[in-house]
Structure 1
Amino acid sequence: MILMTRTGPAGRWLVLLSVCLAAMTMPLSFTGPAVALSRIAADLGGSPIELNWVTNAFMLTFGAGLMAAGALADNHGRKRIFIAGLVTYILAALGATLAPDIVWFDIFRALQGIGGAAAFAGGASALAQEFDGQSRLRAFSFLGTSFGIGLAFGPIASGLLIDAFGWRAIFLLVAMLAVAAAALGMRTVTESRDPDATGLDWAGAGTFTTALAALTFGVLQAPQNGWADPLVMALLGMAAVCFAAFVLVERRVRRPMLDLTLFRFPRFVGVQFLAAAPAYAFVVLLVLLPIRFIGIEGMSEIEAGQLMICLSGPLLILPLLAGQLARRIAPATICGVGLLIAAAGVVWLSRVSAADSALVAPLVLIGVGIALPWGLMDGLAVSVVPKERAGMAVGIFNTTRVASEGVALAIVMAALSGFTATQLGAQGLASSAEAAAAAAQLLVTGNVAGTMRHLPVVDGSALIHAYETAFDRLLVVLATITVLTAIVVFLGLRRGSVAEQDVAPVPACQEG
């Protein structure tokens, strides 16, 4: 039997409030350190690759841990994993404020990602047990909106906190909100688990986590060492071997962490592409744009935060409206059109100057495009598997989403570094390819002064022009990837799914 006693209507909405409050802190943990990167570097030091891990350590462990956390929630109880994850998340956030150097800081960031994965997977799978049908879609729309609140107010809140109290205040705010979520969750969330669970698939969890870690580390190391470097090649080779081993393991175990047979269903594949879609048109910009605005363009943290609201502000409202639109318009259409709008905004952004007023409209357009599918994502994810395996569905979907974001960020940082090095060489600003690559590594972290010391004959305006040219080229690449993803999502979501054959689908998601 499923260990579950349904709460009353009022209690269910308190469960939703607890999970949404926890979810709201996770974008803060992602965007806040990006805004604070220059301050963190000034206080704790660190090489360019160590500073990249300020964001990637959290994203990597969060993404790699979600699928295992979802399986743990199904096996050992959703409430138990939710609370344990929040406790870990809180302690790691507090540890980051006490870190003596950048290495310890990155370690606490990785631990924070593990706690966040457990909290999110446990909380979201608990929601799937509390709500049914249309109310489930509405609940997950609120979950998407809570992410939108964190994303919308994260940059400006971080800027205000940094200006008033320093960068450590960001992590204290995150810890306080997580404590409130844990206190409410302890009182309201009802314990439940999958009655057919047979234990965690440790071999699958180990091979997948190792593969993702090796891939991300290899991509991050490549701009500094070169793609032909033995360490980089070894890391990428290890990633390929571990991914292959993961597939073999999942095909043989009786209750796999990832049921590979689900990929036979086009709608399931479409949902996974939808999970990855925001990575290149939105999430990487949450990291790259504050670095550009503050480090390259010389804006204050508050000014950068105000501009970032233009990008993420639409997530405050549109996910809920998209949930209402899904009653009349097929989700495939809403998601496909939204991604095309976002791609148009990214192209527009590549064509405007860095002046504040010129940036507002393209940033808003990107935010509108991403916000349309955002509110439907989580509801679609839990609609493609039987209800008792909701933890697996949440784990798969959010692993795809966050792992894609982490890998995309590593790839995009490497690409921006490469494009910048090419521009430095083409404009005669570096004496050799090696000097250009080393200077580009510094420049993409927003360290113009350090780059000028590395290339003493160059003035700052020439470096900024080279960076902006490379950034615009990167935006065109990101828009192209988003358009291709939109096509796959639209075609995939129009087709039938395993949920439509085996279980009753979420009403708003049964067409399209």
Structure 2
Amino acid sequence: MSSSLASSTGKNGLAVLLAVCLAALALPISFTGGALAAHTISIEFKASAAQINWITNSFMLTFGSFMLPAGALADVYGRKRVFIGGVIVFAIGSLALDFAPGIVTLNLLRALQGAGAAAALAGGSAALAQEFTGHAQTRAFSMIGTTFGIGLALGPLLSGSLIERFGWRSIFLTGTLLDVMALAIALTVMRETRNPDSARFDWPGALSFIAALGFLTLGLNQAPERGWADPAVLGAFSLSAGALAVFAIIETHIKHPLLELSLFRYGRFVGVQILPIATCYAYVVLLILLPLRFVGVEGYSEMDAGLLMLALSAPMLAVPAIAGMLAKTIPASRLAGGGLIAAAAGLFWLSQIGSGGPMSGLFGPLLLIGVGTGFPWGLMDGLSVTVVPRDKAGMASGIFNTTKVASEGITLAMVNALLASLVLFAVRQNIAGEGTAQYVGEAARQLAAGNLDKSAGMLAPMGRAALTGVYDSAFSMLLYVLVTVTLAAAAAVLVLLSPRRETSPGKDCVVQE
């Protein structure tokens, strides 16, 4: 670790940082590993397509919805206590996954993992803010970002190797081992701190926020199976909207809100919130969708799929740091916007490559997407606290982290639902001349979830080649949507993050480009 990290307000700052980084490393490995193992898990447990989607959605739902409340809990009840509790919950959930008897139990344990991950990350970040100050604090938090980059880059390769050698359950044991090490260090060196100015915890705000995300994810996951106009789906969306309205009312009338909505009057702050959403559509969703395609549709081994995913994720090891250095001379709006445009170009390139081609043909577009996304990825954390008044920086960071994590879960649910709908539409178009299939809906959802074998068994009249063509067509259409969203986000970033956007931010507002 850099010597610049040695300046700490506590005696054990570096050890605390190591504990938080070990806990943080377990999160992306669990995230990418679950996606790579989904095909094998679905075969072993004979899971439906919706159950396969919940392998990721359940983790991301609780991770995203508990992040904001966990940060507030850490301030009120103690940062160490929340971090330790989160690490223990994550470790227990990971260990229990090794003995999961079925898909329902597995998905419930994945949700438990997500809740523990939120508490560990929120509590650990808050603890680090008490251990380091000034430039040392910036470097400490950048180490967490680097740790996430390492996990995202090496997670698929590590998971692929573990699955082939020891089976899919071994990838979750990795999370347990990392968290046990983090726990042993934290119990010894981490000191307990609280925010003396924190009021009682905002339970109504927290519960309404969790309900809003939960019902939205439920509706998105049910829509491909039931139909978008189904009363249950519309009811879930309505409940989500109602919970969100309640949350907004609570937060505008409470003295110490979980979310200070007034920050959204800063145009550049709004622009920063677009960055994690854009990277979700351009990059994060591919971490889930591509392993399903590579293993379940194209027939690659988990190891080969991990190698392909390395082309997408490896740039995260270096590009964010390069972006930070370039930002000293090039406006961050141009770096982030330009990176998103490059990622959109990579997505379009990928849309032109169907299944069955040479493995080497996929490296180019995946690398371009990873490099392009690395620019906004490396800038957005710093920007989140430099575009608002200094006294709002803490709240701004909390909002940004919540946006980043919550948007991942919502985006994954939306994209999975869209792909399933596109595949279902294409299957129905192609099977019209083959007679009536008995399980068209479930077969299409299985295909969208990357289970070509099961789909072909249900739709024998079509054949594997036709189903592969249906999948390729739907996947390309999905990528066109992702290209459009990414380009729209790039345009918004170039406008909203322009230094001229805030004509008079005030003397207490830190504006960096």
User: What's the TM-score, normalizing by structure 2?
Assistant: 0.92
Q: Deviations over 1:444-490 (max 9, x none)?
A: 12221211222121211110111011101110110110111122223
Q: Mean alpha-carbon deviation: is it higher for 335-344 or for 321-330? A: 321-330
Question: Aligned partners of 1:223 and 1:396: how far apart in 2?
Answer: 31
**Contact persistence 2:383–2:512 (CA under 8 A):** no
Deviates more, 1:409-418 or 1:254-263: 409-418
Structure 1 residues without counterparts, runs of 5 or longer: 1-5
CA distance in 1, matches of 2:435, 2:73: 54
Q: Gapped runs of 5+ residues in structure 2?
A: 1-6
CA drift at 1:435: 5.2
Tell me how far apart the structure 1 counterparts of residues 14 and 388 of structure 2 sit (CA, whole Å). Answer: 24
**Inter-partner Cα distance in structure 1 for 2:419 and 2:42:** 20
Whole-angstrom CA distance in 1 between matches of 2:258 and 2:135: 28
Give the Cα–Cα distance (whole angstroms) in 1 for the partners of residues 251 and 235 of structure 2: 24
Kept after mapping to 2: 8 A contact 1:385/1:499:
no
How far 1:216 sits from its partner (Å)? 0.5
Q: Distance in 1 between matches of 2:188 and 2:330?
A: 38
- Contact map agreement 1:310 1:363 (CA 8 A) in 2: yes
Partner of 2:452: 448
Q: Which residue of 1 aligns with 2:489?
A: 485
Matches within 5 A, 1:212-227: 212-227=213-228
Deviation larger for 121-130 or 366-375:
121-130
Are the equivalent residues in 1 in contact too, given 2:228–2:234 (CA < 8 A)? yes
Cα drift, residue 30 of structure 1: 0.8
Aligned equivalents of 2:157, 2:393: Cα separation in 1: 35
Change (3 A) 1:435 1:105: closer
Deviation at 1:109, TM superposition (A): 0.5
Give the aligned length. 503
Task: Specify the SS of the correspondent of 2:195.
Answer: coil
Contact 1:272 1:400 in 2 (8 A): yes
Q: Does 1:171 align with 2:138?
A: no
Distance 2:507 2:115 in 1: 33
Alpha-carbon separation, structure 2, partners of 1:77 and 1:339: 38
Alignment partners' CA distance in 2, 1:284 and 1:458: 29
Query: 1:67-114 deviations in whole A, cap 9, x for unaligned?
Result: 101111222222221111111111111111111111111111101100
Paired-residue identity, %: 47
Residue 366 of structure 1 corresponds to: 369
SS in 2 for 1:428: helix
Gap change, CA 1:7 and 1:139, over 3 Å in 2: closer
Quote the residue 1:18 is aligned against.
19
The higher relative CO (CA closer than 8 Å, separation ≥ 6) is in: 1
Taking the aligned partners of 1:376 and 1:138, their CA distance within structure 2 comes to 14
The one of 354, 375, 380 aligned to 2:378: 375
Number of the residue aligned with 2:4 = none
Distance apart, 1:404 and its partner CA: 1.1
The offset of 1:386, in angstroms, is 7.1
Q: Which amino acid aligns with 2:465?
A: S
Question: Where does residue 144 of structure 2 map in the other structure?
Answer: 143
Q: Distance in 1 between matches of 2:381 and 2:112?
A: 25
Cα distance between partner residues in 1 of 2:474 and 2:369: 20
Residue number in structure 2 paired with 1:463: 467
The CA distance in 2 between the partners of 1:251 and 1:502, in whole Å, is 26
Distance in 1 of aligned mates of 2:214 and 2:507: 35
Partner residue, 1:159: 160
CA distance in 1, matches of 2:143, 2:11: 15
- Encode CA deviations 1:338-362: one digit per residue, 9 max, x unaligned: 1111111111111124421110011
Say if 1:323 and 1:376, in contact at 8 Å, map to a contact too. Answer: yes
CA RMSD, 1 decimal: 2.3
Tell me, in whole angstroms, the C-alpha distance in 1 between the residues paired with 2:268 and 2:352: 35
Distance 1:117 1:498 in 2: 37
Does residue 357 in structure 1 map to residue 345 in structure 2? no
Query: What secondary structure does 1:427 align onto?
Result: helix
Counterpart residue type for residue 252 of structure 2: R
Letter in 2 for 1:400: T
* Shift, 1:374, TM fit: 1.6
> Structure 2: how far apart are the matches of 1:138 and 1:476?
38
How far 1:394 sits from its partner (Å)?
4.0
Aligned equivalents of 2:181, 2:498: Cα separation in 1: 40
2:465 match: secondary structure: helix
Query: CA separation of 1:439/1:446 partners in 2, compared to 1, >3 Å: closer, same or farther?
Result: same
